[in-house]
Structure 1
Amino acid sequence: MTDDNPVNAHLNAYASGSAQVFQAARDQFVVDRDLHIYLHNGVRVTRRTVSAPADVECPYPGLAAFESEQAKWFFGRDRLVAELVGKVGHQLDEPGMQAVIAPSGAGKSSLLRAGLIPAVAQGALPVRGSAQWPQVYLTPTARPMPALANSLAALTRLPPEHVWRVLHARPAAAGALVATEMRRQSAAVPLVIVDQFEELFTMCANPAERVAFVDALTSLSPRGTTGPPAALVVFGIRADFYAAGFDLPSVRAALQDVPVLVPEMSESELRDAIVCPAQLEHLDFADDLVELLLRDLGTGCATDGYPAHRLPMLAYALRATWQTRHGHTLTVAGYRATGGIAGAIATAAQRTFTRLSSTEQDIARRMFLRLVRIGDEDVRRLLPTDELLAAFPGKQAHPVLAAFTANRLLTQRENTVEISHEALLRAWPTLRKWLDEDRAGNLVRQDIEDAATGWIRDKRSNSVLYRGNRLTAARDWAAQPNHGLSHTGHAFLAASVRQFKRGKRIRRATIALLVVLTVVASVVAGYALDKRDEAEFNEMVAASAELMKIDSTLAAQMYVAARHYGHSVHLDSALVTSQNAPLATVLFTNYGNNEQLGFSALAHSPTTDLVAATDTTTKLYLWSGPPGPPTVVPLGGQARREPGVLAERRPACRRPRRRDVPGMGHHEPGDSDTGREAGARGAGRPGGHGVRRAGTLSRHRRAGRQRPLVGLGRPGRTEPDQRRAGRCAGRHPHHGHQPGRRSPGVRRRRHRAPLGRVGSATRHPDRAAEAAGRRTRARPGVQPGRPGTRGRHHGR
């Protein structure tokens, strides 16, 4: 019978022999397509139900949210749907995004999918023709801008690549793009719904992309403008991400401007949500089952309300009870068999897990870990189905995914898969154990998987590979057994290691090349220094050999200095030769004595060490014995002030004649003017030219020259002018031998001692310096007065 009212029926039975006859204990009746029979044999009553074929659709979605196609089963939110429709319609006059805020599990997604979308499609907006306005529904995912571009491309019927280029270049151009296309096609104002808005913070790791996504949404319905917007924008966000939304100005304005809050359902709304879907499917509830459900949920006079996260548990418990129904009746026994509201999810998940093989259980563990984003608060994550399955070899993951999807623990939409509700993360102890047993390792695995996904998306670019400490930590973690890394993660990590080793080889080769270049440069520099020293050595030896003809003392010093640069047979021979050459010895210097005037003439005794000199102050200076201060003897007359030279002692080239100098005898008849000048006139008569007898050292003064040849003495150096003075004295035309040549047996002796200013060099230093500059020409690169310098007499 097909009548819904109970129909009385009578059963007559006959039996023969040992057969037993049962009598109906009470009236028999038929409900819809189920036949319920109660029989008793006088001892007990037996109930038997003959059910109709199980082609009835379950009106309870379980952990998943209601879809728009399931709107006929969506009860208990009529008032909230009407409020939301009114707020959305208000955007037509005052544009601005509309926010829907709700705690996790309160039914936010069901309100948008099964409440708002069907209501607008049924013409609930106060605009004629609004029932035909296009609608798009999306979630941000890890790449919010591509997701929005694809949705707007479907809305405007433009190529996704074109929409993506526009949004990528200028996100705020989304409003103009949609408005232009909508006006061209029709006068419709589309509805854009963004659910799971919190994914913008939990899944998108690029702050710039977050801002661009919000800018694009804001341009669709800009706040503060007049007239219909380009689109009606509604977004749903979890209440615990309310503070995160305040970091984005446009989102903050929407959150502050009268958002729609999803509160707990009242008891009457809960009854409607439980009973009304069953009545549409001709389902019946056993006695007291509805009260038991409400009590387990947490409603009643003794409580302030049920926890919001338990509403998905109620939906799943109802679905599990429907699966164990008795015909078309949901029974208390069937409800208790599911574990009730508190244990229905865990029972179903564990039952599904235990039916898998050991290999499939390991795949399930790795699969669920990839579907959870681990952080301060663990949340589910949406993954492309191909990406999730690619982490496992072959098709081993396909039956695992199908088993959990059939029990509504996982939800597949088009090409994506996710955990049906985050209540599973709290309700299934096994999953909680997987998440907590190696949380640090799971974080490393999650980072590697995310990086591997970006690596594949960027066409395996080397720029996103791990390096440095990050690679070291990832390799250490991957070395542990049972890490659960996917094949994509393995490939990414292997590519990172190869890149690291390649870079290491390049660095080693670079360092080796730099070392080789450094060694080569050092060798070349050393060779250049050796050649420079060799050139200086050869130059010094050549200069010493040339100077040996003129000044043996300076030549000997230069030979000694050259010995520090190198060795040669010629240099050793020259050193021996210079040791046998006559060297000059300085008897007295006038270093630092400003009162002592220059010497005008001097003479040397051929038989003793006595040396005499006169100056322009009518004084006679005598030296005898070792070098030291002279003995001063006053003389009569007035001498012309004339600069002098240093006193030196030389062996005589030939025996000189007597002088009118104390201790030197008298002049013999026939003496030349030279002897008399030095002994008599030269010491006290102006214009004297000094001693001209051979074997003495005199200051040489050429005719017409106003300044004498005076050197500016410095400690430890022999000045060019002093050497020139010695050379001039040795080449004087009155010596009796050829100019510039030494007589045999002559030995010059000089001692390197501190020399000072004498004569006009002390009293007129500027003139002395000018005279020295005119008379001395030094070799380029060699300072005058140093080894290697040859003083030359100008005008010679």
Structure 2
Amino acid sequence: MFPFGEADAGFFFGREKLTGTLVEHVKGNRLLVLFGASGSGKSSVLRAGVLPAFPDDAALVFTPGPHPLEECAVRLAARAGTAPGPVHAGLAAGPHTFHRMVRQILAGQQEAGSAADELLIVVDQFEEVFTVCHDADERERFVAALVHATRVPDSRTRVAIAVRSDFYTHCTRLTGLVEALPRAHHPVGPMTAEELRAAIVQPAVRSRLTVESALLTTLTADAHGRPGALPLLSHALLETWKRRRGNALTLAGYRAAGGIEGALTQTAEEFYGALNDVRQTAARRLFLRLVALGEGTEDTKRRVPRQELDSGPDTAFVLEQATRARLLTADTDHVEIAHEALIRCWPRLGGWLEEDRGQERLRRALTEATTLWESLDHDPDTLYRGVRLAAARDLPAQTLTARERAFLEAGESAAQQAQRRDRRRLRRLRRLVGALAVLLVCAVAAAGFAVRAESTVAQQRNEAVALRAGEEAVRLSPHDPSLAVQIALAAYRQTPQKRTHDALLSTLSVTSMGLEPPGPEPTGSTPAGHTPVLDIPTGQTPAVTADGRLLAMTDGSRVVLWDLKDPRQPRRLGGTDLGGVGVGPIQFTPDGDTLLGAGADRVLRSWDVTDPRHPRLLSKPPTRHTDAVYSIAVRHDGRMAATTSYDDTIRLWDITDPARPRMLDALSGHGGNVKPVVFSPDGRTLASGSDDRHVRLWDVTDPRHAAPLAILKGHRHFIDALAYSPDGRTLLSGSDDHTAKLWDISELSRPRELGELARHADIVTGVAFAAHGRTAATVGIDGVVNIWDVTDRTRPAPLAHLINPRGTVKEVRYLTSDGTFLTVTAHYSVQIWYTALDRVLADACDRVHRTISRTQWTRHFPRLDYAPPCPRRT
């Protein structure tokens, strides 16, 4: 999973066209900002493609880390042969120092006989300035220094930056960089089939190996069109090489290694399974520390100083074994995950992050506070106090390092000393009260004013406490739902404002359902630490029957059915296995008796689910799509279905007899992957969204001769979700541009854009209308669930802003007319949400197992009288 380096240029194939383009760009422009998905090969093409085109001593490569300005100063000073301290001070004072240091370095090299007259600065993993650097001023100064060095008239500097594409929005917030982006940015997309073949075959030829043709075909098919697949492909090839037959890489060896996604999982599980219980615990602590939790973005890897880790023998052993397995990289000073693909593709690590996300944020903050405390020579003013100390005190001691435990112990000691000082001060105050009693008559008038002021201050303080408690309840809900419900309910009763209202709904909704992703067996629960890897397109969706009583979810090559008659107690019913074929999109027919699904093999399957405990396969004709199927829609009468695909087409199916589905027509016209598709309520039109940023409407009255009706233009990025209003007069679309839009389609010949729903900080992944059509829901990668009043379609108004502490929300489905709806997270956990406040208030205490204690109350509601919101329980 390591990127290609400059020394690997002789084995770097497949990116020749992109390399040539980038070299020309760097030579013609002084700034290059290379955007690409994680795993798309940005680092490799810069290090093994671009750098060899320049003299050996004409480049300087580094990653920003938590202190990019300091890292930059250290690298420049080392190259110039000077002390880093003055360089760092100069960079902090103004951006001109960077340009001067480059000139000094080049002058020294030329005196030593170098021919280089310019210096190429390569900043890899630039997203670290957002994920691990928490000083906004240092971030701005670092970017200002880089950009200034490329703009001065006598510039001798060229800068190439590699940054993940999901941080593009973050880059636009940097004033020094946003002006240069239009001329400097360049995207890195997935490799074409021919490029993949070259990348697979040519290094093998150089090493006198052969690649079996069946293996080459399978590898190309598995990796084609997937922007983040290159590290997985590289690792799969390594594991296949270990299982080679003579000098031949074979399909059998590839399959034994687990395939493109299973190879990395298999390696990680073999490493973890070889550890004893104590060392497995140490491995969990280590890997969690090496992940930077995403804020509106996916989780990323984190470069950690060795001093932050425990120095015990178990940690040292785990680190050594993980490094040998190529899961981690380590040098003298730092440790990091080899590639972010491990975060996405190791289910066990994803499960740890899902389970410990709230506590991990507390631990991460504790680590930073400990580092600051040590850097300031144990300054007592930097110690935790009050609520922060109480929250950190609840962290399990075995998950903390010796440094962090020492920091908390110092905080405890300081808190005890403060309490003793407060008691002494209180005694002195009591004596003063006796002396001041004689002045009471003179102070009556002033006292009245003081009472009113105190009442106002107390009210404001109580409101602040309630708002903070509501936010804490949401963060606490995945770990202690009973306590979280009581905190949120008490906060709302204390201060019935919108923020406490949203916090109460968020807390109750998240805790209302504990459905985990289904395991491989038809009964029982998922084994501890196991989360299936889904070998399907990222557009996979759940399926819910029209009456909301039955839920279908995919699990690798299985489809599993759940009974949702009582959403608080979902029951697993039955499932069906596709024999190793990954399941893609699924959809019920309106009567709920048939389930349609498309697999990774592009075959359309239908199952009779009249008895959901024993689904029965009816048919499996090929879809005739030439690439992965993204979604399925079924018309209201259950007689016709539509499938969309990454091959840019839509196909219509006659499913009057589910056992004998027949293809009716193939629709083309989109200029990119076709993703969401949905029939209108009357079944006469079809809406489809695509990566070409457009929504198309189709007349499917005669499905054998479907015709285009209109194109809706307005989104600035890919279309990911669509929903019709119940009356069919309005369409709701969600996009990668962080917005959802309402469209008036009452007159198909003249559709028009209405209002925009734009409260998301990242991609909108799902949209839905309530059955009555007056409200709508939007969900996104930012983990937010927004509820909207769309009675006035031109001015949609926010009703609720709910937070899912589990992170990214992928899909949303309304279940009932009272506002109850279902969401699915990126880790395939399912939540049921209630928006009817009366019902929430009536049912809240049913979720409580143990009444909040006085200690817990004081921690979350300091200075407020103990008043448990629910009857006492034990």
Q: TM-score, normalised by structure 2?
A: 0.48
Task: Give the AA of the match of 1:65.
Answer: P
Q: 1:77 to 1:319 in 2, by over 3 A?
A: same
Residue 209 (structure 2) pairs with residue 283 (structure 1): yes
Find the aligned partners of 1:118 and 1:282 in 2 and give their Cα distance. 24
Find the aligned partners of 1:105 and 1:496 in 2 and give their Cα distance. 42
Aligned to 1:77, which of 12, 15, 19? 15
Q: Secondary structure at the match of 2:228?
A: helix
User: 1:623-634 maps to which residues of 2 (within 5 A)?
Assistant: none
Task: Give the AA of the match of 1:345.
Answer: L
Match of 2:329 in 1: 411
Q: Secondary structure at the match of 1:242?
A: helix
Deviation at 1:273, TM superposition (A): 0.4
Find the aligned partners of 1:406 and 1:184 in 2 and give their Cα distance. 40
Find the aligned partners of 1:140 and 1:170 in 2 and give their Cα distance. 18
Q: 1:185 to 1:334 in 2, by over 3 A?
A: closer
User: 1:284-683 maps to which residues of 2 (within 5 A)?
Assistant: 284-297=210-223, 299=224, 306-376=225-295, 377-389=297-309, 391-392=310-311, 394-475=312-393, 477-478=394-395, 480=396, 484-519=399-434
Deviation at 1:182, TM superposition (A): 3.2
Find the aligned partners of 2:117 and 2:332 in 1 and give their Cα distance. 27
Deviation at 1:522, TM superposition (A): 6.4
Find the aligned partners of 1:180 and 1:272 in 2 and give their Cα distance. 42
Deviation at 1:214, TM superposition (A): 1.0
Aligned residues: 434
Deviation at 1:256, TM superposition (A): 1.3
Find the aligned partners of 2:222 and 2:56 in 1 and give their Cα distance. 43
Match of 1:720 in 2: none
Q: Deviations over 1:119-170 (max 9, x none)?
A: 21xxxxxxxxxx2543211111111111111111122222112212222333
Deviation at 1:461, TM superposition (A): 2.6
Please say if residues 135 and 155 of structure 1, whose CA atoms lie closer than 8 Å, have aligned partners that are also in contact.
Answer: no
- Runs of 4 or more above 6 Å deviation: none
Aligned to 1:138, which of 51, 62, 68? 62
Please say if residues 137 and 192 of structure 1, whose CA atoms lie closer than 8 Å, have aligned partners that are also in contact.
Answer: yes
Q: 1:210 to 1:471 in 2, by over 3 A?
A: same
Match of 1:207 in 2: 136
Deviation at 1:388, TM superposition (A): 4.4
Task: Give the AA of the match of 2:153.
Answer: T
Q: Deviations over 1:96-125 (max 9, x none)?
A: 4221111111100111111122221xxxxx
Please say if residues 33 and 160 of structure 2, whose CA atoms lie closer than 8 Å, have aligned partners that are also in contact.
Answer: yes
Q: Secondary structure at the match of 1:154?
A: helix
Please say if residues 467 and 496 of structure 1, whose CA atoms lie closer than 8 Å, have aligned partners that are also in contact.
Answer: yes
Please say if residues 294 and 300 of structure 2, whose CA atoms lie closer than 8 Å, have aligned partners that are also in contact.
Answer: no
Match of 1:260 in 2: 186
Q: Deviations over 1:483-509 (max 9, x none)?
A: x22222212222222222222222332
Task: Give the AA of the match of 1:369.
Answer: L
Q: 1:413 to 1:188 in 2, by over 3 A?
A: farther
Task: Give the AA of the match of 1:99.
Answer: V
Residue 44 (structure 2) pairs with residue 110 (structure 1): yes
Q: Secondary structure at the match of 2:329?
A: strand
The gaps in structure 2 that reach 5 residues or longer are: 111-115, 441-874
Please say if residues 290 and 302 of structure 2, whose CA atoms lie closer than 8 Å, have aligned partners that are also in contact.
Answer: yes
Find the aligned partners of 1:214 and 1:488 in 2 and give their Cα distance. 33
Deviation at 1:324, TM superposition (A): 1.5
User: 1:18-29 maps to which residues of 2 (within 5 A)?
Assistant: none
Deviation at 1:517, TM superposition (A): 4.6
Find the aligned partners of 1:373 and 1:382 in 2 and give their Cα distance. 5
Find the aligned partners of 2:146 and 2:290 in 1 and give their Cα distance. 27
Question: Which stretch of the first structure deviates more once superposed, 399-408 or 324-333?
Answer: 324-333
Deviation at 1:351, TM superposition (A): 0.7
Q: Deviations over 1:680-732 (max 9, x none)?
A: xxxxxxxxxxxxxxxxxxxxxxxxxxxxxxxxxxxxxxxxxxxxxxxxxxxxx
CA RMSD between the two structures: 2.2
Aligned to 1:162, which of 76, 86, 89? 86
Deviation at 1:292, TM superposition (A): 1.8
Find the aligned partners of 2:102 and 2:422 in 1 and give their Cα distance. 53
Task: Give the AA of the match of 2:12.
Answer: F
Deviation at 1:317, TM superposition (A): 0.3
Match of 1:787 in 2: none
Question: Which stretch of the first structure deviates more once superposed, 178-187 or 354-363?
Answer: 178-187
Aligned to 1:192, which of 121, 128, 132? 121
Q: Secondary structure at the match of 1:66?
A: coil
Q: 1:189 to 1:133 in 2, by over 3 A?
A: farther
Please say if residues 306 and 335 of structure 2, whose CA atoms lie closer than 8 Å, have aligned partners that are also in contact.
Answer: no
Q: 1:185 to 1:296 in 2, by over 3 A?
A: closer
Find the aligned partners of 2:343 and 2:168 in 1 and give their Cα distance. 22
Find the aligned partners of 1:171 and 1:417 in 2 and give their Cα distance. 30
Which protein has greater RCO, CA pairs closer than 8 Å, 6+ apart? 1
Find the aligned partners of 2:25 and 2:332 in 1 and give their Cα distance. 31
Deviation at 1:203, TM superposition (A): 0.9
Deviation at 1:383, TM superposition (A): 3.2
The gaps in structure 1 that reach 5 residues or longer are: 1-62, 121-130, 300-305, 527-796
Deviation at 1:280, TM superposition (A): 1.1
Identity %: 36
Find the aligned partners of 2:391 and 2:70 in 1 and give their Cα distance. 32
Q: Deviations over 1:622-668 (max 9, x none)?
A: xxxxxxxxxxxxxxxxxxxxxxxxxxxxxxxxxxxxxxxxxxxxxxx
Find the aligned partners of 1:444 and 1:72 in 2 and give their Cα distance. 46
Please say if residues 6 and 52 of structure 2, whose CA atoms lie closer than 8 Å, have aligned partners that are also in contact.
Answer: yes
Q: Secondary structure at the match of 1:197?
A: coil
Match of 2:861 in 1: none
Task: Give the AA of the match of 2:299.
Answer: V
Please say if residues 212 and 250 of structure 2, whose CA atoms lie closer than 8 Å, have aligned partners that are also in contact.
Answer: yes
Task: Give the AA of the match of 2:231.
Answer: P
Find the aligned partners of 2:380 and 2:27 in 1 and give their Cα distance. 50
Deviation at 1:184, TM superposition (A): 5.5
Aligned to 2:175, which of 226, 239, 249? 249
Task: Give the AA of the match of 2:52.
Answer: P
Q: Deviations over 1:595-648 (max 9, x none)?
A: xxxxxxxxxxxxxxxxxxxxxxxxxxxxxxxxxxxxxxxxxxxxxxxxxxxxxx
Please say if residues 134 and 155 of structure 1, whose CA atoms lie closer than 8 Å, have aligned partners that are also in contact.
Answer: no
Find the aligned partners of 2:169 and 2:433 in 1 and give their Cα distance. 60
Higher helix share: 1
Find the aligned partners of 2:374 and 2:50 in 1 and give their Cα distance. 37
Please say if residues 173 and 219 of structure 1, whose CA atoms lie closer than 8 Å, have aligned partners that are also in contact.
Answer: no
Q: Secondary structure at the match of 1:309?
A: coil
Please say if residues 244 and 253 of structure 2, whose CA atoms lie closer than 8 Å, have aligned partners that are also in contact.
Answer: yes
Find the aligned partners of 1:67 and 1:133 in 2 and give their Cα distance. 15
